[in-house]
A and B are shown apart, each in its own frame.
Chain A
Amino acid sequence: MAFAGVVHTPGAAAEAKPQKRGRAIPYLLLAPGMLWLGLFFVLPIALLFTTSLMVPVPGGEVGDYAPGFRFANYVEAITTYWPQFLRSFGYGLLATVLALAIGYPLAYAIAVRARHRKLLQQMLLVMVIAPFFVSFILRTLAWRQILADESVVVTVLKAVQVLPDGARLTATPVAVIAGLTYNFLPFMTLPIYASLERLDLRLIEAGQDLYASAVSTFRRVTLPLSMPGVVAGTLLTFIPATGDYVNAALLGTSRTAMIGNVIDSRFFRVVDYPTAAALSFLLMGSIVVLVAAYVRRAGTEDLV
């Protein structure tokens, strides 16, 4: 429904030529929403930054912090939690690559192969977004039960010797990465679908008429034309996957903890606000840097 709505508005990204009339009107239209974002997005981020530099009150209770400029918070956060940081980016990257490997052919099947059967196409699209309707947490818990030690899946895998005796699927990095891939797969598939849906099939024919091999037609025609979708999809998958902690918490152990788990527990269990804030900032900063570099390389700046 909704996601399909986003995907479905055809070719609309090109903005109509804005008209000039009524100088105050656009600002009046913008003001309430921008004020909301200012109060509940910009200001909190700024406060998060000041929180990340706070110093503990000497002799104060646990959770008492005074404003300060303790940049050492960042150094300590990195030196203590770099393994979780690396793990987050590693898992996020792997999940993104897997989601791309599954999502691209899936999107291709729906956008190109089902193109001449509209109703089928619409139904397949609904099936891609179907998982969204069962709660994210419930789906992840379902995976936990499906991959559990005595579950059918594990028993069968052991019976056919794919999984050695004594091995397990829950509480492993495999389970966490599979969960991440699963949960964000629709975010990968939908944007790719949107750009493949507009792909003019005659271009592929033209490539073949000009004696391009199938592989080079794909590499030089199909793939470049679907790049905006691939870029949007990888971002929509990578960002939430890297920051996620639900999959690691429900499908993993402390040895698969990601940076989100650390931020969560620093905030709630240890009331160590400065470290949690510093980690949040480091996470956001590294994602922004990676995304900027990626977008520049991919050459599509028009994302929104």
Chain B
Amino acid sequence: MTAGQVLAGGELAQEVQPRAARRRFALGDWLIPAFAALAFLYLFIPIAYTFVFSFNDAGKSNLVWRGFTWDNWKNPCGAPGVCGAVANSIEIGLIATLLATALGTLIALALVRYQFRFRASTNLLIFLPMATPEVVLGASLLAQFLNFRVPLGFWTIILAHTMFSISFVVVTVKARVASLDPNLEEAAADLYASPVQAFWRVTFPLLLPGIAAAAMLSFALSFDDFIITNFNSGNTDTFPKFVYVSATRGIPAQANVVGSAMFLIAMAVVVAGRVISARRRRAGQVTSS
């Protein structure tokens, strides 16, 4: 729809602007950005809501605005259960990320660098968990844990989170491995590096950005997962589960504080990462030109 409108604008642009090299869409000049602005508004409304209500002098249930206060931010552990749940989420996220990143990176290396049988079925097995609805993943794991009488809790959550993160790690790292120049390793070998040395001193450092991105992705997936966690957590609370369960009686404002703080931290990390990589790219351009 809107794309059509943009292009309809394109014809106008041709008449108005003869040098239509890359400024063809005059009407689209404001139409598309306006649309994008609306879309961003839509994306940010609940974030703004969460943020604003983290300053609410809420009392027990954080539903109505009762006045501004710093108390929730000064005392984020003030509501019972919040900090325990957050600590669980962080621990689970870190362990699951470590496991999934290691296992996934190995698979990605094998897929891109080596030839082997069962390649197609390996790819399929990587793809399937991403294509399976979370309810099914959660329910099937629960059925398995119940069958083998595995007690549910902290470790079953980690098993589950690692499982669904592996595929995302593989896809992320694979893209990075594929963009590597294999000649670099050969060059290292020509310079009498052993294959192990060549891997650790040439390949691995080049893969690191991809691995870091994959690790951040799996931490984000783990930290925010609710559905699979809810099936396999027993009595252990994670942050999303805590929020979901307390939603029936009203979420404490401290939950909004945690959500807002996570948002700010993550945004800071992302923006810093972007700025650093932009600067590095610019530095690279300078040296190469």
Contact = CB atoms under 8 A, between A and B. Distances in A.
Interface of A: 1-6, 9-16, 18-22, 25-27, 29-30, 32-34, 36-37, 40-45, 47-48, 51, 101-106, 108-110, 113, 116, 118-119, 122-124, 126-143, 145-146, 148, 182, 185-186, 201, 204-205, 208, 213-215, 217-218, 222-223, 235, 239-240, 242-246, 250, 259-260, 263-264, 267, 273, 276-277, 280-281, 283-284, 287-288, 291, 303-304
Interface string B1-24: 111101111110010000011101
A126 B109 contact: no
Given A105-B3, A137-B226, A280-B136, A15 B112 contact: yes
Contact of B243 (A137, A185, A215, A303): A137
A102 to B, nearest CB: 5
Contacts of B227: 244-246, 260
A138 B259 contact: yes
B40 A127 contact: yes
Nearest to B146: A273
A135 B178 contact: no
A1 B210 CA distance: 11
A56 B230 CA distance: 25
A16 B171 contact: no
Given A37-B126, A142-B47, A146-B45, 19 more contacts: A1-B213, A9-B175, A15-B174, A19-B114, A22-B114, A40-B144, A40-B160, A45-B132, A51-B147, A104-B2, A137-B240, A138-B50, A182-B42, A239-B131, A240-B133, A246-B227, A260-B227, A280-B140, A287-B132
A109 to B, nearest CB: 4
Given A25-B114, A146-B49, A245 B162 contact: no
Given A16-B178, A215-B8, A243-B133, A9 B3 contact: no
A185 B42 CA distance: 10
B172 A1 contact: no
Contacts of A103: 39
Contact of A34 (B122, B131, B258): B122
Nearest to A291: B131
A113 B33 CA distance: 8
Given A5-B216, A102-B39, A142-B50, A213 B11 contact: yes
Interface residues of B, number: 121
Given A109-B35, A137-B247, A276-B139, A33 B107 contact: yes
B123 A304 contact: yes
B76 to A, nearest CB: 14
Nearest to A63: B146
Interface of B: 1-4, 6-11, 14, 20-22, 24, 28, 32-33, 35-36, 39-40, 42-47, 49-50, 53, 63, 99, 102-104, 106-107, 109-116, 122-123, 125-129, 131-137, 139-144, 146-147, 159-160, 162-163, 166, 168, 170-172, 174-180, 182, 209-210, 212-214, 216-220, 224, 226-227, 230-231, 239-240, 243-244, 247, 251, 255-256, 258-260, 262-263, 266-267, 269-271, 273-274, 278
B244 A243 contact: no
Nearest to A243: B133
Contacts of B6: 105, 108, 214, 218
A4 B216 CA distance: 11
A46 B180 CA distance: 38
B210 A16 contact: no
22 contacts: A1-B266, A2-B172, A12-B179, A15-B178, A16-B182, A19-B115, A26-B114, A30-B116, A36-B99, A37-B126, A40-B162, A102-B42, A109-B35, A122-B278, A133-B262, A136-B224, A137-B243, A142-B53, A205-B21, A215-B8, A284-B136, A304-B123
A124 B243 CA distance: 29
A235 B130 CA distance: 10
Given A136-B226, A263-B135, A284-B133, A29 B109 contact: yes
Contacts of A131: 43-44, 46-47
A264 B24 CA distance: 52
A135 B140 contact: no
